[in-house]
Amino acid sequence: MEIRYNWTKEEILEIYNKPFMDLLYEAASVHRQHHDQNTVQVSTLLSIKTGGCPEDCGYCPQAARYHTNIEGNDLMSVNQVKAQALRAKASGSSRVCMGAAWRNVKDGAEFDSVLEMVRTINKLDMEVCCTLGMITENQAQRLAEAGLYAYNHNLDSSEEYYKEVISTRGYQDRLDTIGNVRKTNVTVCSGGIIGMGESISDRAGMLVALATLNPQPESVPINALVPVEGTPLEEQEQVSIWEMVRMVATTRIVMPHTQVRLSAGRTQMSREGQAMCFFAGANSIFAGDKLLTTPNPDVNEDMEMFKQLGLQPQKPFVKKAQPETVSAEESKFQNLGEKPKWTRPGHSIERNLEAQKKARTRMG
């Protein structure tokens, strides 16, 4: 199946709204053409720096402006991260994804430390992914030299609905960051969240934005919102498994070569529901008891489910060769002390301001 880069919203809506059995059959057929249907990648998500983020993302318990009982922590040490990576490897993970609650990467000691973490994990023969906020081209090059395999930067939703959820950064900044990653040999991981109050048309809009990127992202996480008390979206009703399967299936059809990641919200899904997602083309999960700050099924539960379904964990570097690691001393790209001006849109979001007010009351 040839990859298309000219999908329209109308075409994607037509796929999403197909009779359920037809949609499932088509997605499963596309999946089998391009992937081993009985192999699923297991990744471990590690929050290397939690809480205190200056952004106002309506779904996120790590935003400093909301009161969500999240315990913040400073950046982990390289040794702590190595120990967690070894534990993840022993339990069947082939990829470690490191997340830091930053708006954007700042050159300096903390970023140097993250580069050392990347070098360390790549040398353990595991794929390394980072999600650190917006990055410049030079920062992307430094991560690539360290041995980064993938960079995650989610679009979250359609460009139109994005403005209803986040007011502290612009959609174009997301696309520019992905563009900076594309100037290196690092693969792109970018997806979004459903269940934030968006319309089906917005879901299709997000898929248009991703599917029309050339090349398409190598990895697309589909998250179901986990409403967290204290965030502006705490009252949102959780999406049904049917919506999740439709979203996975549609993503698989429009991005046939991409790894579709079944991400946040799995604790609310039955094994039968997850099996339908795998059948519809999801071929990656996050393992471990937490996804940054929200609950996630235990790794032993996942392995039990794999056994029931006859699934095998994917080995590392199946889709792309392992990157080489260049030592800090031999690096061609150095700390430039950059201070890029990322966008701060001027609008405000009523429910985000409301949640801030509540947080001040609780803390006061």
The pLDDT value given to residue 354: 76
Contacts of 151 (CB under 8 A, 6+ apart): 129, 130, 131, 135, 140, 143, 181, 186, 187, 188, 189
| Maximum average pLDDT range among 17-31, 220-234, 336-350 | 17-31
At which residue do the structure tokens 């700050």 appear?
293
Q: Are 316 and 126 in contact (CB under 8 A)?
A: yes
Pick 131 or 229 by higher pLDDT: 131
pLDDT for 122 equals 96
Mean pLDDT rounded to a whole number for the chain: 88
Rounded Cα–Cα distance for residues 154 and 188 (Å): 10
pLDDT of 292 reads 45
Does residue 65 register a pLDDT over 60? no
Answer whether residue 218 shows pLDDT above 90.
yes
Model pTM score: 0.91
> Which residues are known to be catalytic?
53, 57, 60, 97, 129, 189, 261
Query: Tokens 């996630």 appear where?
Result: 296
Comparing 114 with 61, the larger pLDDT belongs to 114
Q: Which pLDDT band holds residue 148 (cuts at 50, 70, 90)?
A: very high
Whole-number percent of the chain with pLDDT over 90: 61
Query: Quick one: average pLDDT of 39-43?
Result: 93
Give the model's pLDDT for residue 339: 83
Over range 259-282, report the average pLDDT.
Answer: 90
Q: CA–CA separation, 316 vs 288, rounded Å?
A: 18
Peptide bond into 61 cis (omega under 30): no
pLDDT for the residue numbered 42: 92
User: In 318-343, which positions are buried (b, 16+ CB within 10 angstroms) versus exposed (e)?
Assistant: ebeeebebbeeeeeebeeeeeebebe
- State the average pLDDT over residues 25-43: 96
Nearest to 246 by CA among 200, 178, 302: 200
Encoded tokens for 216? 């398409």
Which whole number is the average pLDDT over 176-199? Answer: 94
CA distance 283 to 40: 4
pLDDT recorded at residue 256? 97
